[in-house]
Structure 1
Amino acid sequence: MERITEYRSFEIHVDIQRVHGDMYNVWFQLEGPISPPNVMAIGQRVKVFGGPFTERWSYLVAELAGRAAVDIILGPPA
């Protein structure tokens, strides 16, 4: 399952995969208007560690991880 949200001109793609029962592993991927030279993770799937999570938590933690990554790339929001 995939969900896409937008944050500060970047798209955060969240992908979850069922592990067992109602538990999921989760990845996020950033797509955006810029690709700074030293940032290798843009366009690559990044696994969120600490799981598996419930479906609801999977989407939440992946979106928050994606937002944190965007904030690191662009600096804190004004």
Structure 2
Amino acid sequence: MQRTIHYRGFEIDVELTPSAPDMFDVTFQIKGHDNLGILGARGYRIPLRNGPFSERWAYLVAEVAGQAAIDVLIGPAD
């Protein structure tokens, strides 16, 4: 299952992979924006640790992790 979340001009692409009944491993990838050059070779999929997660938690944790990564890359929001 896949979902895209928009944040500060970027897209956080979240992908869930079933790992047990009703549980998922989750990865995310940051895409987009005209500042994409700052991502460079690091723009690959990032697996989240401490899973598997329920579907709801998987999306939430990936969204928060993606937003935190973007904030670290481009600085705090104005």
TM-score (norm 2): 0.91
What is the number of equivalent residue pairs in this alignment? 76
Tell me what 1:57 maps to: 57
Greater share of helix: 2
Amino acid at match of 1:36: I
* TM superposition shift of 1:36: 1.3
Q: What's the RMSD between the two structures over aligned residues?
A: 1.2
| TM-score for the superposition, normalised by structure 1 | 0.91
The answer to which structure has the higher strand fraction is: 1
Matched residues in 1 for 2:58 and 2:28: separation? 10
Q: Could you say what secondary structure the match of 1:53 adopts?
A: coil
* CA-CA distance at 1:41 after TM superposition: 2.2
Question: Which runs of no fewer than 5 residues in structure 2 stay unpaired?
Answer: none
1:46, CA displacement in angstroms? 0.3
Q: Unpaired runs of 5+ in structure 1?
A: none
Instruction: Give the equivalent residue in structure 1 for 2:38.
Output: 36
Identity of aligned residues (%): 43
Cα-to-partner distance string for 1:19-60 (whole Å, 9 max, x where unaligned): 0111100000000222217x5322x10001110000000000
CA contact (8 A) 1:30 1:41 kept: no
